[in-house]
Amino acid sequence: LLKLRKEEEEEKKLYIHVFKQWLSTNSASNSEVSRRNFDSYYTIALILMRKMRLQDIDAPYEEGLKRYCKINFNEEQLKILKEFREKVARNFCLEKAEDMLLKSLEWRKNWNIDNLLKWNAPEVLQKYYEIGFPGYAKDGSPVLIIPYGNADTRGVFHSCSKRDFISFNLQFLERTMVMIREKVDRPEGPVTRAIFIFDMDNFSFREFTWKPCLDSVLELVQMYEANYPEILKYMFIINAPKIFSAAFAIVKTFMSENTIRKVKIFGTRGWREVILNEVSPDQLPAHWGGTMTDPDGDPRCPSKIGCGGKIPINNILFDNSYSYLRSKKLHYSIELIDPS
């Protein structure tokens, strides 16, 4: 839509058309324009308000939208508009929000986000990096589990590029958005957020602060904050050792206050009850407090979360690209041959 700017009045008509599509619920969820270019009603309402010059009006703007668009809002739509007023646009600063949107669209282009779901990730990530969706929360929110503590960090970064690692994680964020959109027309109300569970069992601060790993994690956090705002309902960090507080102190400097408030950190106790308040046991693997198992009885459900484990040496690609002293990259492929 942003590329179709010609006359301001024509723009207004276009935005109002999209906004009306969203309000009609069914047509909005099937709209290619709405689905591809606007991940939420927040953006549509933001741009519409921008065109209507309503950003300086302190009084409730629902009446202004009603007069301008000639739309009678129902109770649910008014509730959503109120939520927009309270939460969107970086504390209701429209200039920052519009800049955020433009940068996000450019970022999506640079990272080929619209085609990311079709991308076939390197086999080493699919096989050895544990991450997956076991099911849904009680309110329909998607649940994503990442057993980060057991990840073979050095093996991963020696086996694939930094861009591949980041793209693989972004692919799961895009899958999260798809799962959210699929539940937008529920009779009991739309789903707008997801629950993330990070298992830090066997977490190594030394591996986490290894430069390739730390750089990638911090870049991912910044990408999430800039391009997937307000999709988080809760982030449960479980089995966190004491040293994890030092790691989180590094990461949270790149997180917004809204995101930090939704993070709940637990040691080895107390997290099962809290998670089960949000997620039914049949939607969680038994290893993480639920009742779900794989057909073979595996409580970790590798068919949904992935197998994980140590990456074999013959998959490793040695790369000195992170050296501070040289910019040249040297790649060595190593094959182990039995002496016999």
For the segment 79-102, the average pLDDT, to the nearest whole number, is 56
* Domains in the chain, number: 1
For the segment 166-181, the average pLDDT, to the nearest whole number, is 93
pLDDT for 282 equals 96
Indicate if the pLDDT at residue 255 is higher than 70: yes
23: which 2 tokens?
């309000």
pLDDT for 236 equals 97
In a domain, 278, yes or no: yes
In a domain, 257, yes or no: yes
In a domain, 273, yes or no: yes
* Rg (the chain; Cα; Å): 22
pLDDT > 70 in the chain, percent: 64
Q: pLDDT band at residue 26, thresholds of 50, 70 and 90?
A: very low
d(CA 156, CA 317): 9
Residue with tokens 């950003």: 55
Q: Which of 236, 233, 241 is nearest to 274 (CA)?
A: 236
In a domain, 69, yes or no: no
d(CA 31, CA 311): 43
Q: pLDDT band at residue 309, thresholds of 50, 70 and 90?
A: confident
In a domain, 262, yes or no: yes
Average model confidence (pLDDT) for the chain? 77
Q: Are 145 and 197 in contact (CB under 8 A)?
A: yes
Q: Are 265 and 234 in contact (CB under 8 A)?
A: no
Q: Are 238 and 197 in contact (CB under 8 A)?
A: yes
In a domain, 314, yes or no: no
Residue 269 belongs to domain spanning: 115-288
Cα angle at 237 between 234 and 238, to 5 degrees?
130
In a domain, 50, yes or no: no
Chain-centre distance of CA 29, in angstroms?
20
**Domain of 196: which CATH number?**
3.40.525.10
What's the pTM value of the predicted model, to 2 decimals?
A: 0.70
In a domain, 284, yes or no: yes
Indicate if the pLDDT at residue 97 is higher than 90: no
